[in-house]
Amino acid sequence: MERGKVYLVGAGPGDPELVTLKAIRCLQRADVVLYDRLVSPLLLTYAPPEAVCEYVGKEHGEDSCARQSAIIDRMIAEARLGKTVVRLKGGDPFVFGRGGEELLALAQAGISVEVVPGVSAAIAAPASAGIPVTFRGVARAFGVFTGHTEADEEVTDWQLAARVPTVVFLMPVQRLRCIAQSLVESGRHPETPVAVVQNGTLPEQRVYWGTLRDLIEGGHCFEPPATLVVGEVVRIGQYVASLPRLATATSETLTAEVSVPARGGSG
């Protein structure tokens, strides 16, 4: 493994067994590991005993731009000392992980950098709940949106989100009602099925089934990390979870009715 290099590594969606082999190899040869929130502590055990493992996750209320700048400066400094640096980021580095910003900054500083993709919760959380984001005759496209915003971020394109058959929102807990209301105001039917997947892929995973109307009416308490899935494909996961031999104690229903969308003939 090349010295004086930074690896932007995806840590996967939570379950440490869903990390890639290449990510493990990078960790095994790392001198410095800078890891984010939601990264499984078990992954740090792959690093050598002498490696420096430092938590650099951003906390609520912290100046994210200043924090991000400090992380980039640290990576550049360590790489210039000839260190092998692993920047360990939850999910995939390029899916709402600011990995693109880090790649640009490192490259502009003349630092050798490589991206190691990871499994994103945008795919893994729905899948772990039995929800296919695409399904023949039901949904031939899906979109991924961030569930939280900052003052300097662009406003979500709700018209686009309302048109995509399956919509996945990452980290939406603080804005669930706002998201549901915005989708309905942009044309989504209030009875559109939704699923909130808490702690996706982990043993403590819980799935809440309902509709956009349920989220708008509120009264439900959700804890992060969570992923929101919106679309008819949710009915498939809910139906599978309702079958006696597959039903689990970790699924909770916000509405009583369960139906499965009919498959189309082509697609």
Give, in order, the Cα–Cα distances in Å from 57 to each of 63, 70, 79, 230. Answer: 12, 11, 20, 28
- Lookup: tokens for 128: 């772990």
214 carries an active-site annotation: no
1 carries an active-site annotation: no
Instruction: With CA atoms as reference, report the closest residue to 9 among 150, 119, 105, 153.
Output: 119
5 carries an active-site annotation: no
Three-state DSSP class for 16? helix
Side-chain half-sphere exposure of 34, counting CA atoms within 13 A: 25
Pairing type for strands 226-230 and 5-10 reads unpaired
Three-state DSSP class for 258? coil
Question: How far is residue 5's CA from residue 153's CA, in Å, rounded to a whole number?
Answer: 30
The residue count for the chain: 267
Question: How far is residue 116's CA from residue 48's CA, in Å, rounded to a whole number?
Answer: 19
Q: With 0-12 CB in 10 A as exposed, 13-18 as middle and 19+ as buried, what is 217?
A: middle
Burial string for 98-113 (b: 16+ CB within 10 Å, else e) reads bbeebbebbeebebeb
Catalytic site residue from 5, 15, 31, 36: 36
Task: List residues with catalytic annotation.
Answer: 36, 58, 171
